[in-house]
Amino acid sequence: MFALNKKNLLLTAALSSSLALFACSGDTDQSNNQDKGPQQETQDRVLTDALGNEVTIPANPERVIATYLEDHLVALDIKPVAQWSVANGKQEYLSEYLEDVPEIAHDLPLEAVTSFKPDVLIMDSAGMVEGSKYNQYSKIAPTYVIGTEENNDWREELSQVGKIFGKEAEADKVLSDYDAKAGKAKKQLQESHKGESVAAIWLVNNSLFMVSENLSAGAVLYGDLGMPVPKVVKEVSASATGNWSAVSLEKLAELDADHLFLINSDKETGSEMLKDPLWANIPAVKNGNLHEYTRDTGWLYTGTIANSQIIDDVLESIVK
């Protein structure tokens, strides 16, 4: 991020927050995918991944590594054997589901992967298996690579993960439940705060980033919840190359949003940027409509659980 796709958002959020000393609705069954009920597959399946590889997915895999895809796994009641991390950082918003799951370095070192004895490896993008990496990983376990199109659309990606594990029906149900929740929240916001605009920014390492209009938290705020898009957000999004884009404090001073959501990864180091007089003059800040959240929330991520948390935060902050 500074040009971020979805995978880079996850990695940069953790890396940046680490350098700064650190950057859901409903109950989720933590069964580790060991239920032997009728919904489970009873035989291996052969699927073709985004790279054209024919991958044999074992029936009912119990030792799954799917780096950057943990939100989808949890939503589908699949507990991985390892979760991605960097120094001092991991997906803290999933801690209640993955608290006892060991960490693995974000770049999946071969020795570390081997030590977990996975049944299957799911790679978030082709970039994770560049060069000879795919062949190396596939010698450890069947390795399936998610495509770029799915990688950039969390709904499509969740559906793809559901297909990999024979949980298409469960994925459809998760999406249906999420859309119902988003629809209800949208109606509530329309009834109580119609026409009020919002923006989301991220403070990390004394730098500011604004979420794009159609990606990550922006897709939730402006797409799922239908809240108006401020002019500055449109301007920044027009040249964005990823989920979050660098934005100057001077540009933020022009932000005409009624509500401003701040994800503050610098809280533990003093949030120096917020002491600048320009910050105090941002309209939403001046009007007392600043809503601050810390790095351990779902705002920097995307998926059913992250987005559900964002919806909860918006309702809690605005509707009250």
Looking at the DSSP bridge assignments, the partners of residue 200 are: 261
**Inside any domain, residue 2:** no
By CB atoms closer than 10 A (0-12, 13-18, 19+), residue 56 is: exposed
**Inside any domain, residue 19:** no
85 pLDDT more than 50: yes
The per-residue pLDDT for 20 is 37
18 pLDDT more than 80: no
The overall average pLDDT reported for the chain is: 88
**Inside any domain, residue 105:** yes
Same-domain status, 41 and 142? yes
Helices (H), strands (E): how many in the chain? 14, 13
Same-domain status, 256 and 141? no
**Inside any domain, residue 223:** yes
Same-domain status, 119 and 209? no
Same-domain status, 129 and 161? yes
**Inside any domain, residue 17:** no
28 pLDDT more than 70: no
Same-domain status, 238 and 289? yes
Choose the final residue of a domain: 174, 202, 236.
174
**Inside any domain, residue 202:** yes
pLDDT tens-digit map of 211-268: 999 999 999 999 999 999 999 999 999 998 889 999 999 999 999 999 999 999 999 8
Q: Which helix (H) or strand (E) holds 200?
A: strand 198-204
The per-residue pLDDT for 227 is 97
Same-domain status, 42 and 80? yes
Same-domain status, 169 and 212? no
**Domain extent for 116:** 27-174
Write the CB contacts of 297 (distance below 8 Å, at least 6 apart in sequence): 92, 93, 263, 309, 313
Domain count, the chain: 2
The structure's pTM equals: 0.86
